[in-house]
Amino acid sequence: MQLDTEPNQELEILAQGQEHQIAFLHQPYLVEIDITTDKEIISDGGDDKHSPLQKNIWNQEMAAIYLLEQGTSIYKDHLRFIIHVSEKPKLEIPIREVEQIMIFGNIQLSTPVINACLKEKIGVLFLNQLGQYHGHLASEESTNIDNHLIQMQRRDDDYFQFHVSKAIVYGKLTNSKQLLMRFNRKRKITAVEQAIYGISKDIDSLELVDNLDSLRGYEGITAARYFPAFGQLVTNPNFEFSLRNRQPPTDPINSLLSFGYTLLLNNVMSFIVAEGLSPYIGNFHYGERQKSYLAFDLMEEFRSVIVDSLVMNIINHSVFKPQDFDILDSTGGVYLNQSARRIFLQKFEARMNEETSHPDLQSQVTYRHAIQLQVRRYKRCLLSDIPYAAFLRPS
């Protein structure tokens, strides 16, 4: 099984037209602040390290802090985190409002910040500047040895492995099919309709599958149908997509998909750790090297729902230009530049905070909360034999 990491409303980054105090963030904050005017502005995409604008991202409606600007320091002052870089305005963030901190590259965390994150069970994930995962910070309280032992026992339970994996594959295939149907509803592209028909057949065939290898085969067959059809739905003439590739991504759309899948994986992994489970003991994914296989498992049903739909909207609404992507000389990989990466992170957060329905609750939930509910579904399945049911995006 190779590990890789629906239209929604068009996402816009808008200056809100009101002044803010620089030192205190009590209002939603998605854009940057010019210290010469104290007013919000939209960046023109420049990456000048001497800019008076702080490049880190936080919003009161966000659960995550994204620390992007190299040389940033974060320290604790009473009940707040203080984010500081060079001579730029500091950001003060109430600790109680933070669920996750993502560290991109050379960022300094003080010991009190680390202690506060451990105490409050705030997930801290360490990535390189390109968004590749390096590791995470976890407290003793978030590690439950009894749960881990049960996970190890279940790893040798063929019945459990197969039925959890079957639910995951069913969710992934169903959500992938629905995305193609939603984007093709008005366009009615023949090649996309053929892919939808093929995926429908694949879903029906799952009923006859009785082993993990066959499940992985159908997942691979569906991917071979899905991604070329996905490329057919790109309407922006400046971009094209026909084949999923990674490590490294060799075109802009693959770059966006890879970056989005990395962010999704990190969110899933944080909830797994918070529930006292090991992210390394999976069911559907496997390999000789130790990786976060359970996180790879549980992100599958959310790939098209969160990342693919977001990427399609970003591309088709011309949010990025080809110039927003750089080619890494050492590998030939294509990656978003720093200013474009900030925009993508903002839009990813907006997507995660959109609301949807989930059968476990009567009220609407954000997609981030839906991920948490799915992790809890898996935990119930693990500990009490209640069958695992994948998240299916509402029609």
Asked if 229 and 176 sit in the same domain, the reply is yes
Q: How many separate domains does the chain show?
A: 2
For every residue of 255-323, which 3-state class applies, written as one string? HHHHHHHHHHHHHHHHHHHHCCCCCCCCCCCCCCCCCCHHHHHHHHHHHHHHHHHHHHHHHHCCCCCHH
Q: Report the alpha-carbon distance of residue 300 to residue 265 in Å, rounded.
A: 9
Q: Is the pLDDT score of 276 beyond 80?
A: yes
Give domain status of residue 224, yes or no: yes
* Tokens describing residue 9: 């409303």
Asked if 334 and 362 sit in the same domain, the reply is yes
Give domain status of residue 354, yes or no: yes
Top pLDDT among 277 and 28 is at 277
Q: What is the pLDDT of residue 58?
A: 62
Q: Is the pLDDT score of 308 beyond 60?
A: yes
Q: Report the alpha-carbon distance of residue 244 to residue 225 in Å, rounded.
A: 11
Which one of 112, 142, 172 terminates a domain?
142
Mean pLDDT of the chain: 82
Q: How many percent of the chain have pLDDT more than 70?
A: 83
Model pLDDT for residues 309-344, shown as the tens digit of each residue:
999 999 999 999 999 999 988 888 899 988 888 899
Asked if 221 and 349 sit in the same domain, the reply is yes
Asked if 222 and 81 sit in the same domain, the reply is no
Give domain status of residue 391, yes or no: no
Model pLDDT for residues 104-115, shown as the tens digit of each residue:
888 899 999 999
Asked if 110 and 250 sit in the same domain, the reply is no
- Contact predicate 93/80, CB 8 Å: yes
Asked if 225 and 370 sit in the same domain, the reply is yes
What CATH number does residue 132 fall under? 3.100.10.20
Give domain status of residue 336, yes or no: yes
Top pLDDT among 132 and 233 is at 233
Give domain status of residue 7, yes or no: no
Taking residues 235-243, report their average pLDDT. Answer: 93
Full residue range of the structural domain in which residue 171 is found: 145-384
Asked if 170 and 106 sit in the same domain, the reply is no
Asked if 127 and 153 sit in the same domain, the reply is no
Q: Is the pLDDT score of 39 beyond 60?
A: no
- Contact predicate 310/347, CB 8 Å: yes
Top pLDDT among 212 and 289 is at 212
Q: What is the pLDDT of residue 288?
A: 66
Give domain status of residue 395, yes or no: no
Asked if 279 and 295 sit in the same domain, the reply is yes
Q: What is the pLDDT of residue 36?
A: 32
What CATH number does residue 341 fall under? 1.20.120.920
Give domain status of residue 244, yes or no: yes
Asked if 106 and 188 sit in the same domain, the reply is no
Q: Is the pLDDT score of 18 beyond 60?
A: no
Asked if 76 and 215 sit in the same domain, the reply is no
Give domain status of residue 3, yes or no: no
Taking residues 275-302, report their average pLDDT. Answer: 89
Asked if 183 and 330 sit in the same domain, the reply is yes
Model pLDDT for residues 71-107, shown as the tens digit of each residue:
889 989 989 899 888 877 788 888 888 888 888 888 8
Q: Report the alpha-carbon distance of residue 272 to residue 324 in Å, rounded.
A: 34
Amino acid found at 120: E
pLDDT band at 390 (very low <50, low <70, confident <90, very high): very high
Which one of 78, 108, 142 terminates a domain?
142
Which one of 124, 142, 160 terminates a domain?
142
